[in-house]
């Protein structure tokens, strides 16, 4: 048996943390979580839509039925080709766009890919060196998950974790043992199953830290106060922002930043604290990173427009290219003319998520123009 490694044994701590986990499908959310953390493992179910009972069925045949002769088929998923299993219903998007390759040639390469990933998966099952992660959507019963966990553990000593949406906020990020080798953990929410990925990344990272701590008995805090962080604006300086009248309703407030504030070639995060008054009338408030003419975004957290009269953190991560002199970061709001909010502590961190820190202790001071326009900070 190979022991599960701690996340702090060299390399990027958060990337190493995420290599200790392997997705058991449902959809690609956990695979995207790994990507947002700078980790790109190749695994069988990382980006695969998969029914829990069909995984159990495939495991009962040692995965031989998945990718057997005549099992795989290629179909058009727009704009990419997709690949599906006729027997088990597993499906995933390939890397090839429609028209880029002959479908028959693509099918041959996907058979080879599935065969390779099956072998890797069997090795992980036998060694027990991964924590296997299964999202628990509401219609998937806990008994179905237990059937999957027991099927996994018949191959080896690996740990299996079911991830659920926390029933109360206090449980977000928590993990507990259900039985030997089987855990249950909680995140704030799942990304919508339709309409693209909108992942709340920080609870996923906390969940994985706590799960690995539970398994290894060693604290896995990948974020520390001495982590490199660079102020873009003074932490005690409050900036007042007021939306302008534009055709799209989008107003942006940016700052040109020298690239050394970020780490080229790595995932970096721009973060700031915003204060939204009670009478703010806008539909979205979010951060941006612009490199040249292109906006970049990995993990992110937009402002919660229901949270008023207090500081909340807004952040955005992006892969920063090498050989870059400057980039632009800032805040953008979709609102009509004259909507005001405040921000402070603009910061760049060499990490995929912001460093843990308490909200600012400074308050909002209204000026004459705020009083004239009927603005209130509460």
Q: Is residue 210 part of a domain?
A: yes
The pLDDT, as a whole number, for residue 10 is 32
Q: State what percent of residues in the chain have pLDDT above 70.
A: 91
Both 55 and 143 in a single domain? yes
| Separation of alpha carbons 346 and 235, rounded Å | 7
Both 49 and 77 in a single domain? yes
The pLDDT, as a whole number, for residue 1 is 39
Q: Which helix (H) or strand (E) holds 120?
A: helix 103-127
Both 119 and 181 in a single domain? yes
Both 198 and 244 in a single domain? no
The pLDDT, as a whole number, for residue 376 is 55
**Structural domains of the chain, count:** 2
| Separation of alpha carbons 203 and 211, rounded Å | 12
Q: Which of 168, 184, 216 is the last residue of a domain?
A: 216
The tens digit of pLDDT for each residue in 43-95 reads: 999 999 999 999 999 999 999 999 999 999 999 998 999 999 999 999 999 99
The pLDDT, as a whole number, for residue 266 is 85
Residue 218 binned pLDDT confidence (cut-offs 50, 70, 90)? confident
Both 240 and 196 in a single domain? no
- Mean pLDDT, residues 293-313: 95
Tokens in use for 283?
């539909």
| Separation of alpha carbons 28 and 323, rounded Å | 32
Q: Is residue 224 part of a domain?
A: no
Tokens in use for 81?
């080709």
Q: Is residue 222 part of a domain?
A: no
Peptide bond into 131 cis (omega under 30): no
Residue 11 binned pLDDT confidence (cut-offs 50, 70, 90)? very low
Both 236 and 209 in a single domain? no
Q: Is the pLDDT of residue 375 over 90?
A: no
Q: Is residue 183 part of a domain?
A: yes
Helix/strand/coil (H, E, C) string of 293-307? CEEECCCEECCCCCC
Range of the domain at 100: 13-216
Both 186 and 320 in a single domain? no
Both 60 and 185 in a single domain? yes
Both 350 and 202 in a single domain? no
The pLDDT, as a whole number, for residue 2 is 45
Both 183 and 150 in a single domain? yes
Q: Which of 193, 216, 239 is the last residue of a domain?
A: 216
Higher pLDDT, 367 or 16: 16
The CATH number of residue 302's host domain is 2.60.120
Both 125 and 179 in a single domain? yes
Report DSSP state, residue 266. Answer: S
């Amino acid at each position: 048996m190979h022991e599960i490694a701690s996340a702090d044994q060299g390399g990027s701590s958060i990337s190493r943390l995420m290599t200790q986990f392997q997705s058991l499908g449902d959809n690609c959310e956990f695979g995207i979580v790994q990507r947002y953390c700078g980790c790109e493992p190749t695994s069988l179910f990382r980006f695969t839509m998969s029914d829990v009972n069909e995984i159990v069925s495939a495991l009962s045949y040692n995965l031989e039925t998945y990718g057997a002769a005549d099992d795989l088929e290629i179909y058009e998923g727009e704009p990419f080709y997709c690949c599906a299993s006729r027997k088990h219903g597993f499906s995933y998007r390939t890397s090839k766009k429609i028209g880029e390759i002959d479908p028959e040639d693509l099918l041959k390469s996907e058979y080879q890919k599935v065969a390779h990933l099956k072998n890797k998966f069997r090795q992980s099952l036998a060694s027990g060196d991964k924590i296997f992660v299964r999202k628990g959507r509401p219609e998937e019963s806990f008994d179905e998950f237990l059937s999957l966990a027991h099927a996994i553990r018949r191959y080896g000593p690996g740990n299996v974790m079911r991830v659920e949406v926390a029933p109360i906020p206090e449980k977000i990020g928590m993990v507990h043992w259900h039985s030997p080798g089987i855990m249950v953990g909680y995140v704030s929410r799942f990304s919508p199953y339709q309409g693209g990925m909108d992942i709340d990344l920080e609870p996923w990272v906390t969940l994985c830290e706590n799960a690995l701590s539970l398994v290894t008995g060693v604290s896995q805090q990948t974020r520390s106060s001495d982590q490199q962080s660079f102020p873009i604006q003074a932490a005690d300086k409050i900036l007042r922002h007021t939306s302008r009248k534009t055709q799209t309703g989008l107003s942006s407030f940016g700052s040109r930043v020298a690239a050394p504030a970020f780490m080229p070639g790595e995932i970096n995060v721009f973060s700031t604290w915003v204060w939204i008054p009670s009478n703010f009338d806008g539909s979205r408030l979010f951060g941006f990173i612009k490199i040249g003419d292109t906006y970049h975004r990995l993990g992110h957290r937009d402002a919660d427009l229901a949270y008023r009269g207090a500081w909340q953190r807004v952040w955005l991560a992006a892969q920063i290219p090498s050989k870059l002199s400057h980039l632009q970061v800032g805040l953008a709001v979709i609102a009509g003319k004259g909507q005001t909010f405040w921000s402070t502590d603009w910061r760049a961190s060499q990490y995929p998520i912001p460093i843990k820190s308490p909200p600012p202790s400074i308050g909002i001071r209204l000026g004459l123009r705020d009083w004239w326009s009927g603005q209130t900070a509460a």
